[in-house]
């Protein structure tokens, strides 16, 4: 395969890496760029080009599995998962079908007061609640 095809694949992988908040395309991009170098110097060795690209992808996968990237609680920062478990108090009655409001003890995105819905059953005003999910700009809570 021609070296410029490998270069194009490498650039596409790096662009995907910049768009997505993961590192899975990084090693693919590195593998494609290295395969481009092999193709530039040895254009007739397609097998070794494929081996070099595959090796970097496999090394990247093993490195991330061994380091447990993405399994840490700190990785939830900046995602909706970081809001799960925050405690607060309902300021109005809340049900599964009618939105109310809660005031959280820890602010989410700088605000303590959020629209809320119950996960199951009704919740009276001034009842302690816990966030179990975030749907758009509405927190889904359960009674403690």
Give the model confidence (pLDDT) of 75-112 as tens digits: 444 456 678 899 999 999 999 888 999 999 988 777 88
pLDDT at residue 68, as a whole number? 60
Name the pTM for this structure.
Answer: 0.48
Fold exhibited by the domain 80-143: OB fold (Dihydrolipoamide Acetyltransferase, E2P) (2.40.50)
pLDDT digits (tens, 9 = 90+) for 5-31: 999 999 999 999 888 866 778 889 999
Bridge-partner residues for 87, per DSSP?
Answer: 130
Three-point CA angle 29, 31, 32, nearest 5°: 65
Query: What is the residue extent of each domain of the chain?
Result: 3-71, 80-143
Q: Would you say 104 and 114 are in contact if contact means Cβ atoms under 8 Å apart? A: yes
- Dihedral of CA 62/68/71/77: which sign? negative
Q: Is the pLDDT of residue 53 over 90?
A: yes
CA distance 139 to 118: 9
């Amino acid at each position: 395969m021609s070296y410029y095809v490998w270069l194009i694949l490498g650039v596409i992988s790096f662009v995907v890496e910049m768009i997505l908040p993961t590192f899975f395309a990084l090693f693919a991009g590195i593998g494609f760029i290295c395969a481009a170098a092999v193709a530039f110097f040895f254009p007739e060795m397609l097998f070794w080009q494929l081996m070099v690209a595959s090796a970097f992808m496999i090394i990247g996968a093993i490195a991330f599995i061994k380091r447990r990237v993405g399994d840490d609680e700190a990785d939830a920062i900046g995602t909706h998962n970081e809001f799960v478990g925050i405690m607060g108090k309902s300021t109005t009655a809340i049900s599964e079908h009618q939105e109310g409001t809660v005031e959280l003890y820890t602010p989410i995105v700088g605000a303590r007061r959020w629209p809320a819905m119950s996960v199951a059953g009704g919740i009276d005003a001034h009842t302690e609640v816990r966030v179990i999910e975030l749907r758009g700009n509405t927190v889904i809570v359960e009674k403690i």
